[in-house]
Amino acid sequence: MKLLLIIICTCFLWVQSSAQTPDTAVATGQVTFLRNNSVVDFKYNKVFMDKTFLCKIGEHRYFVKDVPVGKHTFTVQFNGKKAKEGAEKLFIEIKAGEKYFVDVIFQDKWPIPNLYCIELAASSALRVLPSLKLSTRCDEKAH
């Protein structure tokens, strides 16, 4: 009787262990994009990652994205649905479970204003975040 019970338990545990699927989740890091400035003529800026549109960010707003591990290129521009080749690029090596903060910067330079993004230290970003509003929609018609 004990032998039969041991065999049944062993079979049950073997079936359970073989039925489990391997973890296929993609490792990610979290990137928070902030826009603290106001520009009368440019209510929204468009943020791109690896030439792919991520989000339209408004004045005094921020949004958060989970980004796959690896080296990524971030750009920001005033308009357009495709990332422009001439845009200033920010390169960040994303590590699993890490948090990154990217600030959208506007410089009012004549004759052409300059728009770019920089990586912020967490301490600086966390001071600014409470004064910003979270953007929950990132489509072309957001806000």
Residue 112 makes CB contacts below 8 A (sequence gap 6+) with none
Say what the pTM is: 0.75
Q: How far is CA 56 from CA 22, 30, 62, in A?
A: 36, 18, 10
Distance CA 94, CA 71 (A): 6
pLDDT tens profile 77-124 = 988 888 888 889 999 999 999 999 999 988 877 777 788 999 999 999
- Domains of the chain in start order, with CATH, are 26-134 (2.60.40)
